[in-house]
Structure 1
């Protein structure tokens, strides 16, 4: 008889939680990949909204990400903007209709909000360790908030990215960045 290990139990629980969240996302006009891309773009800084960044975040191919972005654009949930410096370079910004679609907490967020602060902090820490370790093993990017990056420097006006050598607003510092490198070690 098969007796699940702690590792298998944890994997099964994460998988089940992911499937429950994805099933809820199917209840609207978007599929889970489109919903994830829209959510990422809403939380990503201005330097991290290119199709390749979306592909990296979703851990998918650039072709799949491109099709996902085209579907969101057809639904007027995102808008394409070409770079003034390099007309080949594009980024996507979430439209007001896209932001409206993201309003309100999901069922998962509502359940997380019922956890005690201690349990929520412990869960967040454990999941962060899992994600960062897996990303480290795969050579993936962390996509953390600017203010938690080793390249972030606090200034009087908000911040400065030493990697890109650009000023950051307080809002920038709270958004996801494709170039993020955790200030702390990748190892849990």
Structure 2
């Protein structure tokens, strides 16, 4: 598989997961960045639980992190503690509610389901593994695949021309490389299943 196609599969999987993440956080009045802050604080040590460390790890501005921390503190998901040796340093830690929220929201349920379905299979390339993972994630999430025409169940080659089996219309060569919202993925070849 071409490197650009592999990159696009990774990008599409990421987009799907971000969309699901946004829905989950919106349901509780938070943004994904708030979840990222909580997740980081759940796994960092006592030397790395400061505003600056959060900003550096997430690649965000100090202002964005500061606003996020204020919101999370207001919602009682984290608490601030002044360093006992250096009063200028403020440490951040999760409350019980913050820990429970991290456990509840990560990892995403759809990813866990996809992992269960794909983990026992062997693939001949990373591209096939990613395509299968994406297809399973889309199925579990009940979202459209928006795949390329030529990889669709409806795609046909009839009398030396391309045709959409759903509409019975002829397709131009350029159409076969473009994505379609009515795409239904063809099953991917799997090398070995246990």
Bin for the TM-score computed over the shorter chain = 0.5 to 0.7
**1:91 positional shift:** 1.4
SS in 1 for 2:45: coil
The alignment's C-alpha RMSD in Å is 2.4
Q: Deviations over 1:74-97 (max 9, x none)?
A: 111111111011111011101111
Residue 20 (structure 1) aligned to one of 16, 26, 33: 16
Q: Distance in 1 between matches of 2:112 and 2:91?
A: 28
Q: Deviations over 1:50-102 (max 9, x none)?
A: 11111111111111111111111111111111101111101110111111112
Q: Distance in 2 between matches of 1:34 and 1:116?
A: 30
SS in 2 for 1:45: coil
Residues 103 and 6 (structure 1), Cα distance of their counterparts in 2 relative to 1, 3 Å cut: same
Provide structure 1 residue ranges, at least 5 long, that are not aligned to the other structure: 124-188
Q: TM-score, length-normalised on structure 1?
A: 0.55
Whether 1:99 aligns to 2:99 is yes
SS in 2 for 1:19: helix
State which structure, 1 or 2, has the greater radius of gyration over its C-alpha atoms. Answer: 2
SS in 2 for 1:24: helix
Residues 8 and 46 (structure 1), Cα distance of their counterparts in 2 relative to 1, 3 Å cut: same
Per mean C-alpha deviation after superposition, the further-off stretch among 103-112 and 89-98 is 103-112
Provide structure 2 residue ranges, at least 5 long, that are not aligned to the other structure: 127-194
Q: Deviations over 1:119-173 (max 9, x none)?
A: 6xx98xxxxxxxxxxxxxxxxxxxxxxxxxxxxxxxxxxxxxxxxxxxxxxxxxx
Partner of 1:116: 119
Partner of 1:78: 78
Q: TM-score, length-normalised on structure 2?
A: 0.53
Structure 1: 4+ residue segments shifted above 3 A: none
Whether 1:50 aligns to 2:50 is yes
Q: Distance in 2 between matches of 1:7 and 1:42?
A: 35
Partner of 1:6: 2
Q: Distance in 1 between matches of 2:37 and 2:103?
A: 15
Residues 117 and 46 (structure 1), Cα distance of their counterparts in 2 relative to 1, 3 Å cut: farther
SS in 2 for 1:109: helix
**1:40 positional shift:** 0.8
**1:117 positional shift:** 6.7
